[in-house]
Structure 1
Amino acid sequence: MSSHPIASAPPVPVDHRPAVTVLSGFSPGAVHAAARALLIADERLIAVSHDLTGIRDGVLRRTVRSATELIEQSTVELAHGCVSCTLREDVLPTLVRLTGSHPGSDVLLVLPSAVEPEAVAAAGAHSVRFDSFITVVDPESFLDDLGSTADLHITEADHRSVAEVVVHQVEFCDTVILWSRPGTDSRDLDRVGALVHRLAPWAVQVPVGTTNSLDCTGLSQLVRRTGRHDPRRPGMLGLALEGRAIGIEGEDSVLFESRRPFHPQRLSDALEELAERALRGRGQLWIASQPDIVLAFESAGGGVSLGSLGYWLDALPVERWTGTSDDRRIAADLVWDPYYGDRRTALALIGLHLDQAAITGLLTRCLLTDAELADGFDSWRALTDPFAGIAD
Structure 2
Amino acid sequence: MTDSRPHVTVLAGFSAAATDAVARSLLVTDPSLVLVTHDLTGVRDGVVRRTVRTADEVLEQGRTDLVHGCVSCTLREDILPTLVRLSRERPGSDLVLALPPAVEPEAVAAAGLAVAEAVRFDSYVTVVEATAVIDDLTSTDSLRDRDLHAAGNDERGVADVVIRQIEFADTLVVWSTPGADALERDRLAALLHRLAPWAAHVHVGDSPKVDCTGLAGRLLRSGRHDPAVPGMMGRALEGYPIGIHDRPGEHGVNAMLFQSRRPFHPQRLHDALDDLTAEALRGRGQLWIATQPGTAIAWESSGGGLLLGNLGHWLAALPRERWDEATDMRRLAADATWDLYYGDRNTMLSFVGFDLDVDAMTATLSACLLSDAELADGTDSWRVLPDPFADFLPADGDADQPTVTERATS
Q: Structure 1 length normalisation: TM-score?
A: 0.95
CA offsets per residue over residues 172-230 of structure 1, 9 Å max, x none?
00000111000011211111111111111000001010011111011000111000001
SS in 2 for 1:140: coil
Q: Which residue in the other structure is 1:214 paired with?
A: 210
1:317 aligns with 2:319: yes
Q: Distance in 2 between matches of 1:15 and 1:85?
A: 29
2:19 paired residue number? 31
Secondary structure at 1:125 match in 2: helix
Distance across 1 between alignment mates of 2:169 and 2:226: 10
**One-letter amino acid matched to 1:37:** S
Q: Which residue of 2 aligns with 1:135?
A: 126
Which residue of the other structure, out of 71, 75, 86, is the alignment partner of 2:74? 86
Secondary structure at the aligned position of 1:388 is classed as coil
Query: What is the aligned-residue identity percentage?
Result: 60
1:169 to 147, 165, 168: 165
Shift of the alpha carbon at 1:166?
0.2
Q: Which residue of 1 aligns with 2:360?
A: 358
Letter in 1 for 2:388: P
Per the alignment, in what secondary structure is the counterpart of residue 10 of structure 2?
A: strand
Which residue among 131, 135, 147 is the counterpart of 2:138?
147
Q: Secondary structure at the match of 2:126?
A: strand
Amino acid at match of 1:261: P
Q: 1:46 to 1:386 in 2, by over 3 A?
A: same
The answer as to 2:193 corresponding to 1:193 is no
* Structure 2 residue runs without a partner (length 5+): 399-410
Q: Distance in 2 between matches of 1:221 and 1:186?
A: 25
* Residue aligning to 2:350: 348
- Residues 330-354 of structure 1 deviation map (CA, whole Å, 9 limit, x = unaligned): 1111211111111100000111111
SS of the equivalent of 1:61 reads strand
* C-alpha separation in 1, matches of 2:59 and 2:383: 61
Q: For 2:258, what is the secondary structure of its paired residue?
A: strand
Picking from 23, 34, 44, the partner of 2:32 is 44
Q: Secondary structure at the match of 1:288?
A: coil
Q: In structure 2, what is the equivalent of residue 112 of structure 1?
A: 100
What SS does the aligned partner of 2:185 have? helix
How big is the shift at 1:14?
A: 4.3
* Map 1:362-373 → 2, pairs under 5 A: 362-373=364-375
Paired residue total: 380
Matches within 5 A, 1:68-87: 68-87=56-75
Deviation at 1:15, TM superposition (A): 3.0
Q: Deviations over 1:11-56 (max 9, x none)?
A: xx54311000000001111110000000011111100011111111
Structure 1 position 157 matched with structure 2 position 153: yes
Residue 358 of structure 1: how far off its partner (Å): 1.3
- Equivalent residue for 1:292, pick from 286, 291, 294: 294
> Alpha-carbon deviations, 1:43-75, whole Å to 9, x = none?
111000111111111111111000000001112
Give the Cα separation in 2 of the matches to 1:237 and 1:249: 19
Aligned to 1:4: none
Partner residue, 1:6: none
| Letter of the 1:74 counterpart | G
The aligned residue for residue 236 of structure 1 is: 232
Question: Given residue 223 of structure 1, which amino acid in structure 2 is its aligned partner?
Answer: L
- Aligned partners of 1:373 and 1:358: how far apart in 2? 24
1-structure distance, mates of 2:141, 2:77 = 28
**Separation in 1 of the partners of 2:386 and 2:79?**
45
Q: Distance in 1 between matches of 2:124 and 2:36?
A: 15
SS at match of 2:36: strand
Please state if 1:279 is matched with 2:281: yes
Q: CA deviation at 1:101?
A: 1.0
Shift in Å, 1:139: 1.3
Q: Counterparts of 1:150 and 1:19 in 2: how far apart (Å)?
A: 36
Alignment partners' CA distance in 1, 2:379 and 2:160: 34
The answer to whether 1:98 aligns with 2:86 is yes
Match in the other structure for 1:178: 174
Match runs of 1:243-262 below 5 Å: 243-250=239-246, 251=249, 252-262=254-264
Runs ≥4 in structure 1, deviation > 3 angstroms? Answer: none
Q: Could you say what secondary structure the match of 2:216 adopts?
A: helix
1:226 aligns with 2:228: no
CA RMSD of aligned residues (A): 1.0
The CA distance in 1 between the partners of 2:31 and 2:360, in whole Å, is 54
- Mapped to 1, the partners of 2:363 and 2:377 lie a distance apart of 23
TM-score, reference length from structure 2 = 0.91
SS at match of 1:74: strand
Three-state SS of the structure 2 residue aligned to 1:41 is coil
Query: What's the counterpart of residue 333 of structure 2?
Result: 331
CA deviation after TM superposition for structure 1 residue 126, in Å: 3.1
